[in-house]
Structure 1
Amino acid sequence: MSQNVNNIILRESLTIDTRDISDFTGVPHYAVLRKLDGAKNKDGTTKFNGIVEVLRDERISVEKYFVESIYVDAKGEKRKCYLCTRLGCDLLANKFNGQKGIIFTAKYVDMFYKMEKALRQNKYSYLIDDPIERAKRWITEEEERKGLRSEVSKSRAKVIFADAVCNSNSTILVNELAKILKQNGINIGGLRLFDYLRENGYLVKRKGSEYNLPTQKSMDLKLFQIKETIINHGDGKVIVSKTTKITGKGQKYFINKFIGKNYDGC
């Protein structure tokens, strides 16, 4: 085989998970899958075709772009995902507009560059003359790469956690904390997180002007801040809107509470 052919095979053996794409773009994983699989109406008819179906209809090899796979979620249940080749990422990037598309492109290009660099340092060690030895070497290195991807996946929670707590001067909304927790495998949304905070005495549960504002206990622990916004109406009436925001200390407190991890470095 020519060196160019070797390079193509090597590049296309590298993939990134659609869950990584979800992390890169901030788009929920199910929404990334919809771009690939399309969607059905309630009566089972096609609402719109995804990228995978379009490729199949045109008799284009899907596996050059996307390889269907599964992963095990935090509940131990098997879920669908795709492993995307460099070509697949190039194709999928066109489906993300504006800032999301730019960020996704920058991050997947960087990830593939690092993976390709690591393989080049091995000098294509499994592309050797003896076919049996070549197969053995390829299997060994593929298992090592899978192990590396697994470690990256396991460390994803710690990375997101570090990003959340190290910027201690920044406050975030409760809904934003829910997104961080969900990216770490905690199945919770904004409404359910508000329920949790109220039921556990962090936010006021009594309906009225203080509803969803921090309790005195939370303020004493410096878990929250209250942002006040003055709204001027055309009739001269002035209203002060109060929004609950979570401090850097609060982010660390609640993330540790939910995912059971401690992270001290900033």
Structure 2
Amino acid sequence: MNELTRITITSMEAAGWCGKRHTDLLRDIRKYVQQLGESKIAFTDFFKESTYITDQNKTLPCFLVTKKGCEFIAHKMTGQKGTEFTARYINRFHEMEGTPQRLLTEHPGEVAKLIQALASRMDKQGSAPYKSAEMASLICEQHGIRLPTDFVKIPEYEQLSLFAIENEKRE
């Protein structure tokens, strides 16, 4: 698959960079998709329809935005916001292109449902919350979804016990 369309960000991330509400960017992208369709230009090189799960367990629409899609959005923006958006997407895509990609998904909503089901089961089994975060991080990594480096936070008391175990192994 073309490198420019394989790696994506979510429309939520793009909206934050644009300084727009997500619903406003969705409206704009839908207009772009319609206009591209009328011109018989494949919109999937730029935007891919998807869904995500909210904290309230609702499934809502979003788009996966390719590098070409970010360039498309950037060309619609001017001034300081356009400059900031362009710099952010360039930095983000260069960062992602430098990261080895494994199985990529075009359906982050399905990945979210999987994570939610596994986290619920782990919670019922009494697993520590950070273990659920580690599991979610691993699943995201396997599907090419990037999370912040500090996503998994091990409680300080557990870090101390893990440190003690490592020291015992060395001795």
**TM-score scaled by structure 2?**
0.60
Question: Larger Cα Rg: Structure 1 or Structure 2?
Answer: 1
Conserved in 2, the CA contact under 8 Å of 1:11 and 1:116? no
How far did residue 58 of structure 1 move? 0.7
- CA 1:147/1:64 → structure 2, altered by over 3 Å: closer, same or farther? closer
- Look up the match of 1:83: 64
Paired with 1:16 and 1:145, the residues of 2 have a C-alpha distance of 16
Paired with 2:37 and 2:142, the residues of 1 have a C-alpha distance of 29
1:130-187 CA deviation, whole Å, 9 max, x = no partner? xxxxxxxx53x666363533x34x95xxxxxxxxxxxxxxxxxxxxxxxxxxxxxxxx
- CA 1:147/1:90 → structure 2, altered by over 3 Å: closer, same or farther? closer
Conserved in 1, the CA contact under 8 Å of 2:26 and 2:62? yes
Please give the secondary structure, in 1, of the residue aligned with 2:64: strand
Unaligned 5+ segments in structure 2 are: 106-139, 152-171
Q: 1:102 aligns with which of 83, 89, 99?
A: 83
Matching residue's letter, 1:148: I
Matched residues, percent identical? 29
1:23 aligns with 2:20: no
Q: 1:68 aligns with which of 33, 49, 56?
A: 49
- Look up the match of 1:12: 5
Paired with 2:84 and 2:142, the residues of 1 have a C-alpha distance of 24
How far did residue 24 of structure 1 move? 1.3
Paired with 2:144 and 2:99, the residues of 1 have a C-alpha distance of 14
Paired with 1:54 and 1:148, the residues of 2 have a C-alpha distance of 29
- Specify which structure has the higher proportion of strand: 1
Conserved in 2, the CA contact under 8 Å of 1:17 and 1:82? yes
Structural RMSD (CA) = 2.3
- CA 1:145/1:83 → structure 2, altered by over 3 Å: closer, same or farther? farther
Matching residue's letter, 1:86: K
- CA 1:113/1:68 → structure 2, altered by over 3 Å: closer, same or farther? same
- Structure 1 segment 1-266 matched on structure 2, within 5 A: 9-37=2-30, 50-119=31-100, 139=103, 144=141, 146=143, 148-149=145-146, 151-152=147-148
- CA 1:34/1:80 → structure 2, altered by over 3 Å: closer, same or farther? same
Which structure would you say has the larger RCO, counting Cα contacts within 8 Å and 6 or more residues apart? Answer: 2
Please give the secondary structure, in 1, of the residue aligned with 2:51: strand
Aligned residues between the structures: 116
- CA 1:91/1:147 → structure 2, altered by over 3 Å: closer, same or farther? closer
- Look up the match of 1:159: none
1:94-117 CA deviation, whole Å, 9 max, x = no partner? 222311111111000000001111
- CA 1:106/1:19 → structure 2, altered by over 3 Å: closer, same or farther? same
Unaligned 5+ segments in structure 1 are: 1-7, 38-49, 123-137, 156-266
